[in-house]
Structure 1
Amino acid sequence: MGAQSPRAVERERSIDPEELRTAIAAVESRASSSSDLPPLAPEAHEAATAALRLLRHRPRSEHELRERLLTKDHAPAAVDEALERVRIWGLVDDADFAAEWVRGRRRRRGRSRGALERELREKGVAEFHIARAVSDIDETDDREQAAELVRARLARRPVDSGRGADLQGERRRLVAFLARRGYPTGLAMTVVNAELAAQVSP
């Protein structure tokens, strides 16, 4: 297999999980003589190999990788060297990670902007990367996303408009459903009330 320059890999952007696995395979199959980088120290090589195994499962933030490698008893200096090499290979980039995390969690789970920000902070992503990743999401977007979630939920569980107790129970369940996805209580109640009213109207 022809060797791909580490610098070329570094320039690739927004690596999704499948592309990441392909990039890892390219790195692992590259002959040492084809690389323009010096060999890693033995301990750093072990840490870099462990990092590639972790990344094969899913993209990770640099903080996540560092923490996992340290918990596997790799020496801090070896982890630093390994992560520097992984960055050069283009396999970890917190800006891309944050952008992909927001796209995926928004699309698959309907997470609110606030929830996405909290999740990225928990993964050790820097605030300026987080701000950029969520910059296209405002309160109107959150309200529209919440309404779509509620409509989809109601389509699966129609409300009986003739039973007020059930309607109240449905309202509580839907507000709790949105809260679990990070939507503020006020916004959740506004959206749920509007969608329930639309459903029970003649």
Structure 2
Amino acid sequence: MDLEGLRASIAAVEARPAGSEDLPPLAPEAHEAATASLRLLRYRPRSEQELRDRLAEKEHPPEAIDEAIGRLRAWGLIDDAEFAAEWVRGRRRRRGRSRGALERELRGKGVGEAHIADAVADIDASDEREQATELVRTRLARRYPGAVDREAAVGERRRLVAFLARRGYPTGLAMAVVDSELAAHGPS
């Protein structure tokens, strides 16, 4: 669920009567934890573990956290599988992250291995190479509108390999892509 969809769902939840027929009212402490969770979700979607951690930091009792998380699930506001899939789509599109980097980020957010595997299942080696190539091409086009001379290529190679490494690409792939693109952008 994207941020706008999530915000619309939160508004619909907040407009519901407190004790609707399908769900009993929350205990007072659980209501506070659920309200705090809704505030957090207005900024961005979060994994279940992220919400649990944030609520625990704010010293909500464990029973209240469990009840609030259960209610958020019932309302359809948290779903780790959907969160992981959206995280992967967004981070690949906006940041150019590699499969390995995405897996590490999702683990850090407490997403389960099965959800992580499903979210990155469509990313294969050719997708990784294509993404890395596009990142390097964009960077080279911005820095060097014309050809890259041999002297500049030496320093640029190091910078571009490091650039891809920060996005989680393996060194071998990064070096191969950078060398190929520098050769293509070199003097004729």
TM-score normalised per structure 1: 0.90
Aligned counterpart, 1:193: 179
Q: 2:15 aligns with which of 9, 20, 29?
A: 29
Counterpart amino acid of 1:139?
A: A
Tell me if the contact between 2:147 and 2:187 (Cα under 8 Å) persists in the aligned partners.
no
Report the counterpart of residue 43 of structure 2 in structure 1: 57
Q: Is the 8 Å Cα contact of residues 69 and 79 (structure 1) preserved in structure 2?
A: yes
Aligned equivalents of 2:68, 2:114: Cα separation in 1? 24
CA deviation after TM superposition for structure 1 residue 31, in Å: 1.6
Partner of 1:110: 96
Say what the alpha-carbon RMSD is for the aligned residues.
Answer: 1.1
Alpha-carbon distance, 1:72 to partner? 0.2
Identity, in percent, stands at 72
Distance 1:34 1:69 in 2: 25
Instruction: Give, as a single letter, the amino acid of the residue that structure 2 aligns with 1:100.
Output: E
1:167 CA displacement? 1.0
Matched residue count = 187
Query: How far, CA to CA, are the matches of 2:92 and 2:99 in structure 1?
Result: 8
Alignment match, 1:95: 81
Residue 28 of structure 2 corresponds to residue 42 of structure 1? yes
- Separation in 2, partners of 1:161, 1:34: 66
Q: Which amino acid aligns with 1:38?
A: P
Alignment partner of 1:70 out of 35, 52, 56 = 56
String of CA shifts for 1:21-69, please: whole Å, max 9, x gaps. Answer: 0000000011235441001000000000000000010000000000000
In structure 1, distance between residues paired with 2:187 and 2:122: 34
Runs of 4 or more above 3 Å deviation = 159-162
SS where residue 29 of structure 2 aligns? helix
**Residue 125 of structure 2 aligns with which residue?**
139
Q: Give 3-state SS (helix, strand or coil) of 2:49's partner.
A: helix
Residue type of the alignment partner of 1:55: L
Separation (CA, whole Å) in 1 of partners of 2:123 and 2:20: 44
Picking from 143, 146, 162, the partner of 1:176 is 162
Unaligned runs of 5+ residues in structure 2 are none
CA distance in 2, matches of 1:201, 1:92: 53
Cα offsets for 1:113-147 (capped at 9, x unmatched): 00000000000000000000000001111000000
CA contact (8 A) 2:157 2:179 kept: yes
TM-score using structure 2 length: 0.96
Task: Kindly state the Cα deviation for residue 201 of structure 1 after the two structures are TM-superposed.
Answer: 5.0
Using a 3 Å threshold, how does the CA distance of structure 1 residues 16 and 109 change in structure 2: closer, same or farther? same
Q: Unpaired segments of 5 or more residues in structure 1? A: 1-14
2:141 pairs with one of 129, 136, 155: 155
Q: Retained in 1: the 8 A contact 2:47–2:110?
A: yes
Aligned counterparts of 2:165 and 2:35: Cα–Cα separation in 1: 40
